[in-house]
Amino acid sequence: MAEGRSRAAQVWFGHLDRARAEGVSLKAYAERSGVSLHRLYFWSARRRVQVGSGEAESALFARVEVADRRPTLGGASQRLHLPSGAVLE
C-alpha cells in the first residue's frame, strides 16, 4: 500500500509542479486540467508538511556555508553561484 501512496504522491506533486511552472493558481490549473481542486489543495498541504519535516526531495531553502571568512581586498563582498547558473553578489 505504501507503494500506491508513493505513486499517488508522484502524480499529484507533478500536477503541483506544472501549476507552479505555468504560474497559475491551483484553481485555474484544476479547471483547465480537469483534476480535483480539493485533491490539489490536499497534496499541496502534504508537500508543505514534508518540506517542513525534511522529507521532501527538494526543499525551498538550502543551507549555505561560507568557505573562506577572510576579508577580501577592497571590501567585504561575497559571490554566490546558484545551481541554476545565476550569480548573486
Q: Structural domain boundaries of the chain?
A: 2-53
Task: Check whether 85 has a pLDDT greater than 70.
Answer: yes
How much is the pLDDT for 1?
40
Beta bridge partners of 9: none
Integer-rounded Cα radius of gyration of the chain: 19
Q: Could you tell me the three cell numbers for 81?
A: 553561484
How much is the pLDDT for 39?
94
Where are the strands (E) in the chain, listed by range? 80-81, 87-88
How much is the pLDDT for 2?
47
* pTM of structure: 0.53
Residue-wise pLDDT for 39-64, tens only, equals 999 999 888 776 655 554 454 566 77
